[in-house]
Structure formats: C-alpha cells, structure tokens
Structure 1
C-alpha cells in the first residue's frame, strides 16, 4: 500500500470518527464491492473492506538490514525454575548496576542454575559474568556455531578469532594446563587492549599462579591503569612478593 492509499484510508477513518459517511471518499474499486441498497449497508461493507486492507496491506515488515542470528545456545546448567523467577526478578530489580546483577547471576550459578534470558542476559562486552554464560556472551557478540568449531586452540594467531567470553574460557584452561603459554598470550596480546580488558586478563593469572609469574606481574607496576597495578600487587602478595609502587605512581589511574 502506497502513501496515497494510506492517506485515503486516513480520510475514511476521520469521517467515521466524526460520525459522517465515507462512501463517496472510497476508491472506485471499493465502491463497486460496497454498493448496496441502503447507505448504512454501504458504510458497513466499506468498513469491512477498510479493516481487511489495514490488516493485510499494513502488516509490519522486517527492515532490510535485519540479520538472521543463530538460536541462543543451550547452557550446561538448567534454567531456574519458573516458580522462583519472580523472586529472582525482585533481586535483580534491587541490584543497582550491572556488576550487582552479575553477582546475582553468579550466586544462582553456584546453586546449579542459570537465569532465564528474559530475566537477564550478559552483554557482549561482559568480562565478569560466570563462565557458564560464555556461549551467551559470544552469541551477543555475533558468534555462530560454525566459526566457533573452526577456532581450535587459542594461540597468538587465533587470538582475534575468539570472542571475549570464549577467549577467557580458553585462557583459564590454558592457565591450568599450560600456564607459561597462557601468561605469554596475556603479556603479548593484553598490552594493546583497553584498561578494562587488561584488568580482566590479569585477573586470570590467579589460575595456576606460581613463582614463574613474578617477573610479569612486577612488570605491571608500570601499567597505565591503576586497577591493573593494584590487581598485579594482590597477586604478587599471594606469592609473598611486593610490587614497586613508584614505577606506576605517575601513571593515569584509569587509562
């Protein structure tokens, strides 16, 4: 239906709203079908035609830029039972920001359940959601099953093939099995990442933490981000070491 036809329908509607007859304003084709012995019957038939036109011709159409996405991945844990979801939504309502909502999701995951996607979904840039939600984070980032199956092992060459959540999961596994390789990846690839991502990567050093990690952690005392320096200091403290705060004292604490 073009704009002229839509304008004609609008005139018919306005006439009916004001209590007037609209038969004379109808298109010729409609008049042929709506012709009747009485004016009231003509208006009723015309109204029926107009209603069908609105229902059929003005159906919403998907925009051309719409992209088909793969189904939302199934997670390894079951959904929270429906009878508990109202209580959960109440807890999420009182969680003031995204970090607190993530803590609610973490608590539920520790009890063996995941949240319904209509109640909570991690963002594509989420670095703090429980690992169980990694497939959803990647789905939000636009990942699909074919691409994930081709990624293979995380290396310097495949680093950009991994979406953030999948990369984090792979790094955790590497820290447990090949900690030196994981540390090398964090050191070489993390340097060019934003402060928030660098912080999330350094936090992964807690897995398989050992004395071999001390030189790298000490080098982070010169990092641009105060949060990264603080996290490195905490990890060093777990190893009985101290970072040199003077190295990063002049740096921007939020870079």
Structure 2
C-alpha cells in the first residue's frame, strides 16, 4: 500500500468511526488510529525538500525610546488578562509620550489591534520601525501601515514629504499640526490636493478642520456638500452646522419656519412631506432607520441642523421655556433634534436645560468640565443605581475630581449594603475614571470590598502611569 492510499484509509476510518471500520493492531483502535496518523504525517514532512527563498530584509534601527522594563511587564500582564480594560489607557499614555513597546510584545499587540480598531491609532507610534516591518510580512497586521508613525510637526524639515508620501495617519496628524499653527494654511494645503484624495481620506481630513473652525472655512465646506461620498457630505454639513451664520444654517432656518409655530401656549408641528435634493445636499438623510417614519426622521434632522439661536427668535421663548413647552405631536422628534443640535453646536445653555429635562451622557459632555462634574455628582446622589446612572457617568470627562469621586464612592458604599451583586460595572467605571492619584481617598473611606476594589484599581493605574512617566 502506497503512502497516499494509507493516508486515505486512515482518514476514512476517522470519518466513519473505528467501531464501523476497525484499525488492525492494538487493543485501543482510537489510539492506534491517531498514532498511525502521527507517524504518517512525520514521514511526509521528513521527506520534503526545503523550498528556496530570499532572505528577509533587516528591520530599520529604532529611533524612539523603548518603555521601561516595569512598564513592559505591566503591559504583558494586561495583555495576559489582568485589568484588560486598562489596555487603551496604557497605549494612549505611552503613545502620547513618544515611546515604543518592547519587541517581544509586538505580535500579541498587533493581533489585538487586528481585532480592535479603537486601539490602532496608538499602535502606529508604539510599534516603531520593527512593527511596520512585521506588518509588511503579515497581511493581518497591514492596518498598521496606515496609522500615525510619529508625533507630527507643522514645521519639520520633512513636512512636505510627509504630506505627499506619508501614511494616511501621518498625513492626518500633519494636517492637524498645521491646523493648530495656521488654520488658513491647513485649509489651503488640503484644498490643493482635495480632488486627488481618496474618499475615506477626504472625510477624515474634514474632521481635522473641526479644530479652529471659523467662517473662513465656509466656502470650502460648502463646496464639499457636493462631494460624491455621503460621509464627506455629512461631515461637511456637521461642520457648517457649527457655524450659526453659514448659508446652510440660514437655509435650515428658512425650512423650520414652516415646520414649527407657537399656538395657544404650545408648539405646533407640521413636519416636511418630502425630502428633496436640496435637503439631502444639506445633510438630511432621506432613508430613515428601520422602525422610524420618514416625516419624523426628516423633521428631527432639520431641527438638529438649525442654529439654536433661531428658536428663540422664531418661537419667542428662551431655551428654558422651550424645552418644557407642550408639543402636541412630533414632540419626540423635536426634542431629539434639539439634543443633537446642542451636542453638535456645543451650546452649554441648551445642553444644560435639556440635561435637566432628560439626563443624557452626550449632553453632559457638551458642558464645561467643572459643570459636568457638579451635575454628574448631583445626579449620582439623587438617582438610583441603574443603566442610566452608568451612561451619565460615562459622559463625565475623565479623570474625575474629588467632588464626583466622593459622590460615586458614597453611592457604592450605600448600594453595597443593599445590592452588592449590582455593583460590578459601577466599581469598574469608578476605578477607570477617577483620578488615580486619589486612590488614598478610597482606601481610607471604608473596608467594604467594593470600595477596596476601586482603591486597588486606582493604585494599579497610579503605578502604571508612573512607570510611563
């Protein structure tokens, strides 16, 4: 029997089972089958000749400093399953300080990046030259070749080369650096290459223009409303919505005057009956999400893209009164539009009043830092532990200061006596968002296990950040 036939016999016996096709020899046919398969595989491999090949190029020498041994050991522990939710913080901190990771951690870290897009922007810096060399050898890691590779500078000697030949990430970072130093120069730089840019890059470049946005950007953004790519058009519309005196803002104001009026102390709503080409150009999506009616969807988007200052002039009431007025029909759509507008336009007055009406994390995030913490702490004190509390806390910018820290720790202590099984997510969130330098506050507050778990997580983070200093 030749080798090929012998292998086919073994495979056939494995498929149908050794009870139906016995393997001769031995008292345990299953073991005999596996042993013969192993011997056959070994013989086949031993008989193969080595294929010819070209030697690999050598990875370029590194220029960035590597993280300390202690920091690398901690990253290895995180990748191994200890405090895995802190991986993003470790990566962001290390990348922000210009470090690269130890070479022996690169394969596992790149595998993680292949599964998790959110950490990729940090890996371009952390992987160094060796990481990009490895990415060129493994298609699963080639995402790295499009990420930022170093801290960008608007005035570096090779700035022109970066803009012309750099990765997508490097070009975004360079445009951002130019935008910070010279907003008009960044817009002009982008305008010169705009028609040649890939559609996905155009949308990403428009996001960069959000920093330093001014009326001078309007002509460029108005032209981008005619782009073939929907993501580009909507990004341009989002930016124009933040410019209250833009032509898009005036067009939206003209539309909503037909949709909303005040009658008998309440707000009367007549939503649009059609979404025409002009509305679509201004960022209103014609097709609604599943389960949402067309007219309500168009209304909500029109309200969201209308400058918030329009409503006081149109309806004759300040925001505090408008959000509490009765809306006979279509009230949910109008309120959702106002929420989106407050977030998009970063209007603290509207965000404050809307948060009092419906505490949403996005509205909290639109407020100044000190006010965020004050409102979040007040909400924690008077609200029970549920999903909404967790979501609101998710909108409070980290790191949390002493005021919010005390409110959250007190809530944990309060609930630990009645619903200890319900504390998992709150204790993890507290440990991840509280300023880690405040670990002593938690350690001294109470010996209760949930409080001490928060303290242990804060101390872990404090040590982690010190190792990356």
Say whether 1:117 aligns with 2:117. Answer: no
Could you say which residue in structure 2 is the equivalent of 1:41?
none
**Cα separation, 1, equivalents of 2:279 and 2:192:** 19
Could you say which residue in structure 1 is the equivalent of 2:76?
82
* Secondary structure of 1:239's aligned partner: coil
- Matching residue within 42, 57, 63 for 1:68: 57
* Secondary structure of 1:70's aligned partner: coil
- CA drift at 1:248: 8.5
**Cα separation, 1, equivalents of 2:196 and 2:91:** 32
Q: What is the TM-score of this pair, normalised by structure 2?
A: 0.31
* Secondary structure of 2:57's aligned partner: coil
Deviations 1:224-250 (A, max 9, x none): 111111111222222325575946848
Q: 1:71 to 1:183 in 2, by over 3 A?
A: same
**Cα separation, 2, equivalents of 1:132 and 1:174:** 23
- Matching residue within 160, 169, 177 for 2:181: 177
More helix by share: 2
- Aligned residues of 1:199 and 1:228 also touching (Cα < 8 A): yes
Q: How many residues align?
A: 188
- Aligned residues of 1:159 and 1:167 also touching (Cα < 8 A): yes
- Aligned residues of 2:64 and 2:128 also touching (Cα < 8 A): no
- Matching residue within 99, 112, 130 for 2:121: 130
RMSD between aligned alpha carbons?
4.9
Unpaired runs of 5+ residues, structure 1, are 1-9, 11-53, 92-103, 146-150
Q: How does 1:102-113 map to 2 (within 5 A)?
A: 106-112=88-94
**Cα separation, 1, equivalents of 2:119 and 2:184:** 23
**Cα separation, 2, equivalents of 1:241 and 1:127:** 35
- Aligned residues of 2:75 and 2:90 also touching (Cα < 8 A): no
* Secondary structure of 1:230's aligned partner: helix
Could you say which residue in structure 2 is the equivalent of 1:234?
238
Unpaired runs of 5+ residues, structure 2, are 4-44, 136-144, 150-155, 253-276, 286-469
- CA drift at 1:220: 0.9
Q: Which has the higher contact order (CA 8 A, sep 6+)?
A: 1
Could you say which residue in structure 1 is the equivalent of 2:198?
194
Say whether 1:152 aligns with 2:157. Answer: yes
Q: 1:120 to 1:88 in 2, by over 3 A?
A: farther
Deviations 1:64-105 (A, max 9, x none): 3x54142485767844522111227977xxxxxxxxxxxx97
**Cα separation, 1, equivalents of 2:279 and 2:62:** 42
- CA drift at 1:166: 2.2
- Aligned residues of 2:203 and 2:231 also touching (Cα < 8 A): yes
- Matching residue within 215, 223, 236 for 2:227: 223
**Cα separation, 1, equivalents of 2:106 and 2:244:** 43
Q: 1:86 to 1:215 in 2, by over 3 A?
A: same
- Aligned residues of 1:222 and 1:229 also touching (Cα < 8 A): yes
- Aligned residues of 2:79 and 2:87 also touching (Cα < 8 A): no
Q: 1:198 to 1:183 in 2, by over 3 A?
A: same
Could you say which residue in structure 2 is the equivalent of 1:208?
212
Q: 1:207 to 1:196 in 2, by over 3 A?
A: same
- Aligned residues of 1:222 and 1:248 also touching (Cα < 8 A): no
- CA drift at 1:106: 4.8
